[in-house]
Amino acid sequence: MEQFSFLQKIFRLSLFCFLLVFMTLIPALQGVNKAYGDDEDIDEDRVIELGKKVYETRCMICHGSKGDGKGFAGITRRVEKNGRVLKNYARDFTMGVFRFRTTPNGCLPDDEDLMKIISNGVSRSFMPPHKDILSLEEKKSVIEYIKTFSERWEEEDPCDVIEVKKPDWVGSSLSVKKGERVYKEMKCWECHGEEGKGDGPKSDKIKDDWGKPILPFNFVTGELKRGSSAENIYITFTTGLDGTGMPSYEDSLNEEDRWHLVSYTLKLMGKLKSLH
Amino acid sequence: MKKIMVFTVVVALLIPALSFARKAKYEVVEVNNGGGIQGTVKTSLKVKDPVVPINIQPKEDPKETEIERKTCGKTQQAGIYIVSPSNEVKNVLVIVEGVKKGKAAPKTDLTINNNKCRFEPLVSISYVKSNYIVKNSDPLFHNTSLGVLLKDKRRAVYNLALPYQNQEIKKRNRVAGLIDLKCDAHSWMRAYVYSSRHPYVTITDANGNYELKDLLPGKYTVRFWHEGFQEETKEVEVKAGKVSKLDVSFSKTRKPDFLGRL
């Protein structure tokens, strides 16, 4: 596999270099120029260049010119109903750590994950949706551009995505009941609180990987950062949110119990009705 | 034109070759007449091992609070400075840096146990492609968060929930480097693992002694890392069939990060 991509790389690069030389020698040949410009695959530099342009106009204000999350916008705050203050830091891309993945704990996200976050934004964190603002090409380009901030993207192989298939019974009253037991046994309440208000006994001391205090999710707000679907709840505690203190339960829970837990947390969020 | 073509092809071949070289790879070879490094780590300082206060926030169910208070205790001896009467330092990671070639690393798995609200062992070694076995011996929730320490950052490797007693999770070691362990539910818990691609890493014993064997002859850089001292690096030459002596004395302390989390 590695050899294959190696050969491919050589092929692409020789083609690229050849075309470059060819073009400087015979600039009169307009046809060649056009064919070259059309073939997106050949020109990786052009993607990065477009990505950079998108980044600088749309993302830099928060994520910073160096991708370290220290943009002009600074830290945003949100006061929740219970008086707790949620502080939001734009993601530091130089770390190469991402929360909202469909890949297992400790893995890089896949492009589809990043596409979703960029399109939908991060609710409760002031990261705006870019669904209608950016074209598909622009979104793809900015994804490639943010990968240039961390060498982790070159060092690590991608992981497989976790399949999510919601059973029909999720949200039934029996499932909610079973899920309440799972919530207790899995000790979600240690951080998220008995009533899911994000105020569990461990909630005050949790720090993220940047050393900043971070509050566990308050289910009563009804709004997940990554979007409030049953599938997103499932994937959150399955993969964990890397860098935040929210651990992975992939090795602690069987498939059925995970969906009971989803039913119960949907109840905590007041979202049981919208399910059916 | 021909020259330009040749030049283009050479450049095209060089670029991927260079980008490949950036991935630090380790080559396994047979080592027959290798050399060793041996020494003792001491400190010139008088150090005192602190006692860590333990605060357990009350839970809704007082029985659960009681279990946690009993398991974790009211205080814990930090165990940062384990120094012999002759000033020899235990638990120093001795790491030969940037080794490109040598014996194969062992395939032994590393077990990390959450026991009485501490990680055991405090300092250990794991090998890339072997497994971490993370255990919970306590009747309460722990989570084991592993992060690799980069220049000024800690990058998440795994964060595993261990909600019940006698649970065991096996995870493949995929990331090399100095790994820092913490538990988000117990701020004082910490441990350190050196995750290595090669076998040339060890830990000092209670007499500050260490020994590294079967290195290919050559010049090496050795790093001495300890959570409570400023680290030291030393150069050493290893000769075939000989043991080089390499002693170190720590002369500056450092505040371990976990004390800032309490």
pLDDT per residue over A219-265, tens digit each? 999 899 999 999 999 999 999 999 999 999 999 999 999 999 999 99
Average pLDDT, chain A: 87
Q: If you search the block for the tokens 């059309």, which residue do you land on?
A: A38
CB contact under 8 A, B156 and A10: no
Q: Which of B23, B156, B175 faces A209 most closely, judged by CB atoms?
A: B156
| Structure-token pair, residue B161 | 């929930």
Distance CA A77, CA A74 (A): 10
Over the stretch A56-97, which tens digit does the pLDDT of each residue have? 999 999 999 999 999 988 887 878 777 788 888 999 999 999
CA atoms within 13 A on the CB side of A117: 22
Distance CA B57, CA A104 (A): 31
Using alpha carbons, list the distances in angstroms from residue B19 to A9, A12, B8: 11, 15, 17
DSSP string, chain A: -HHHHHHHHHHHHHHHHHHHHHHHH-TT-HHHHHHHHH-TTT-HHHHHHHHHHHIIIIIHHHH-TTSSS--TT--EEEE-TTSPEEEE----TTTT--SS-SSPTT-PPPHHHHHHHHHH-BTTTTBPP-TTTS-HHHHHHHHHHHGGG-THHHHSPPPPPPP----TTTT-HHHHHHHHHHHHHTTHHHHH-TTSSS--TTTTS-B-TTS-B-PPP-GGG---TT---HHHHHHHHHH-BTTTTB-B-TTT--HHHHHHHHHHHHHHTT-HHHH-
Residue B209 has pLDDT above 80, yes or no: yes
CA distance B5 to chain A (A): 7
Residues 6 or more apart whose Cβ sits within 8 Å of residue A125: A76, A88, A225
Higher pLDDT, B260 or B22: B260
CB contact under 8 A, B163 and A246: no
CA distance A276 to chain B (A): 31
Residue B165 belongs to a domain? no
Q: How far is CA B78 from the centre of its chain?
A: 18
CB contact under 8 A, B16 and A201: no
CA atoms within 13 A on the CB side of A87: 10
Over the stretch B238-255, which tens digit does the pLDDT of each residue have? 999 999 999 999 999 999
Residue B120 has pLDDT above 70, yes or no: yes
Assess if CATH 1.10.760.10 describes domain A173-275. yes
Distance CA B255, CA A43 (A): 50
Over the stretch B47-100, which tens digit does the pLDDT of each residue have? 999 999 999 999 999 999 999 999 999 999 999 999 999 999 999 999 999 999
CA distance B93 to chain A (A): 23
pLDDT at A25: 43
Interface residue of A8, A205, A244, A250 to substitute, partner B, most B CBs within 10 Å: A205
Percentage of chain B exceeding pLDDT 90: 88
In chain A, domain spans: 38-155, 173-275
Question: Which residues of B are less than 8 Å from A9 in CB distance?
Answer: 16
A124 pLDDT band, cuts 50/70/90, is confident
A196 pLDDT band, cuts 50/70/90, is very high
Range of the domain at B195: 26-106+124-130+144-160+172-261
Second-level CATH architecture of A38-155: Orthogonal Bundle (1.10)
Residue B240 belongs to a domain? yes
Residues 6 or more apart whose Cβ sits within 8 Å of residue A97: A209, A242, A243, B155, B156
Cβ contact B171:B193 at 8 Å:
no
**Closest by Cα among B182, B190, B178 to B125:** B178
Domain count along chain B: 1
Over the stretch A1-44, which tens digit does the pLDDT of each residue have? 444 555 565 555 555 544 444 444 433 333 333 344 445 455 88
Residue B113 belongs to a domain? no
pLDDT at B20: 41
CA distance B146 to chain A (A): 9
Q: How far apart are the first and last CA of chain A?
A: 45
Question: Which residues of A are less than 8 Å from B143 in CB distance?
Answer: 245, 247
pLDDT at A33: 39
Average pLDDT over residues B162-179: 97
CB contact under 8 A, A209 and B147: yes
pLDDT at B261: 86
Q: Which of A13, A105, A194 faces B15 most closely, judged by CB atoms?
A: A13
pLDDT at B15: 47
**Closest by Cα among A214, A256, A236 to A105:** A236
Average pLDDT over residues B115-134: 98
Distance CA B180, CA B178 (A): 7
pLDDT at A73: 84
Distance CA A202, CA B57 (A): 7
Average pLDDT over residues B105-126: 98
Over the stretch B5-20, which tens digit does the pLDDT of each residue have? 555 544 444 444 444 4
Percentage of chain A exceeding pLDDT 70: 84
Residues 6 or more apart whose Cβ sits within 8 Å of residue B171: A251, B131, B132, B134, B158, B160
Residue B218 has pLDDT above 80, yes or no: yes
A152, closest residue in chain B (CA to CA) = B155
Beta bridge partners of B159: B145
CB contact under 8 A, A204 and B19: no
Residue B55 touches partner A, C-beta closer than 8 Å: no
CATH of the domain at B153: 2.60.40.10
Percentage of chain A exceeding pLDDT 90: 71
Q: What is the largest CA-CA distance in chain A?
A: 75
pLDDT at A145: 97
DSSP helix/strand/coil, B14: helix
B258 pLDDT band, cuts 50/70/90, is very high
Q: How far is CA A161 from the centre of its chain?
A: 13
Residue B117 belongs to a domain? no
Distance CA A174, CA B43 (A): 63
Residue B12 belongs to a domain? no
A158 pLDDT band, cuts 50/70/90, is confident
User: Helix A255-268 to helix A230-239 angle, to the nearest 10 degrees?
Assistant: 120
Using alpha carbons, list the distances in angstroms from residue B63 to A144, A247, B67, B68: 52, 25, 6, 9
DSSP helix/strand/coil, B49: coil
B23 DSSP assignment? S
B2 pLDDT band, cuts 50/70/90, is low
Residue B10 touches partner A, C-beta closer than 8 Å: no
Distance CA B158, CA B181 (A): 10
